[in-house]
Amino acid sequence: MFVIGGIQKTTLVDFPNKVAAIVFTQGCNFRCGYCHNPSLINFGLPLDDATHNDVIAKNEIMKQTSDFFSFLQSRIGKLDGVVITGGEPTLQSGLYDFIKEIKQMGFDVKLDTNGSNPQVVEHLINDNLLDYIAMDIKAPLEKYDIITCTKINKNNILKSIELIKNSTVDYEFRTTILKSQLSLDDFEKIGQMIKGAKRYYLQKFVSSKILDKNLINEQTYSNEEFDKICKNLKKYVKFVDYR
């Protein structure tokens, strides 16, 4: 089963150095208040009430994936790759086969993940189905449950970090930042957590369509503060920047 929550036909910024399409999967096991795709959080099809009928729902899922691959076929030679994001893609039981078909068509694949399912990521890496991985680092481990508003298996987060760092797949770690959630000391702890990583991006919180409306007026750090944070983190990570 692979449930598509949305498609963006072209992006020039989400897959480094490639022109790509984006597939948004439906469903996430985290509930981060600043999530800018809140409509993708709940599981199930983002369709009308008719899809409560299992047969209709399954047929619609098949139609979604079929339509996407028809679109992708028409973009051979025009697109370099596909970004699979969410939601949380590793929750989709059909993720492996979906990516395998994309790869067989000659496209590169970038996976966005929260790192909660290292076994899925490992399987994809071992079978050479990924060309780039972007993993969200939500916070230092002791703050994960607070930021994600869920009970997290923190060992899985650490396993994913080490798995990605030690793979041959290109990657980045990244953190979305609200000033009220992450202190300067927290960045020090994150740096230690991902020590030796190739690339780490600090992402400015953007107040727009988010899950928790109480955060709508929250602020992120200033550029000057980000400069200092990045400079300090470079003792842990080879490349650090903010965006």
Question: Which residues lie closer than 8 Å to 33 by C-beta, 6 or more apart?
Answer: 147, 149, 210, 211, 212, 214, 215
Q: What are phi and psi of 20, to 5 degrees?
A: -140, 165
Q: Enter the DSSP assignment of 148.
A: H
The C-alpha atoms of residue 189 and residue 17 are separated, in whole angstroms, by 30
Handedness of CA 66, 68, 74, 79 (dihedral sign): negative
Report the number of distinct structural domains present in the chain. 1
| CATH code assigned at 232 | 3.20.20.70
Domain of 25 in residue numbering reads as: 4-242
Give, in order, the Cα–Cα distances in Å from 198 to each of 30, 101, 176, 194. Answer: 25, 29, 18, 9
Residue 18 in this model has a pLDDT that exceeds 60: yes
Give the tens place of pLDDT for each residue, 34-79.
999 999 999 865 544 334 445 455 667 767 899 999 999 999 999 9
The C-alpha atoms of residue 230 and residue 225 are separated, in whole angstroms, by 9
The C-alpha atoms of residue 69 and residue 79 are separated, in whole angstroms, by 13
What per-residue confidence (pLDDT) applies to 62? 67
Give the tens place of pLDDT for each residue, 147-193.
999 999 999 999 999 999 999 999 999 999 999 999 999 999 999 99
Q: Which residues pair with 106 in a beta bridge?
A: none
Give, in order, the Cα–Cα distances in Å from 96 to each of 107, 129, 149. Answer: 15, 8, 28
Whose structure tokens read 């994001």? 85
For 230, the 3-state DSSP assignment is helix
Give the tens place of pLDDT for each residue, 66-116.
999 999 999 999 999 999 999 999 999 999 999 999 999 999 999 999 999
Please report which residue ranges of the chain form alpha helices under DSSP H. 54-73, 95-104, 118-126, 144-148, 154-165, 184-193, 223-233
CA angle 219, 186, 223 (to 5 degrees): 40
What per-residue confidence (pLDDT) applies to 213? 87
Q: What is the pTM of this model?
A: 0.92
What per-residue confidence (pLDDT) applies to 240? 98
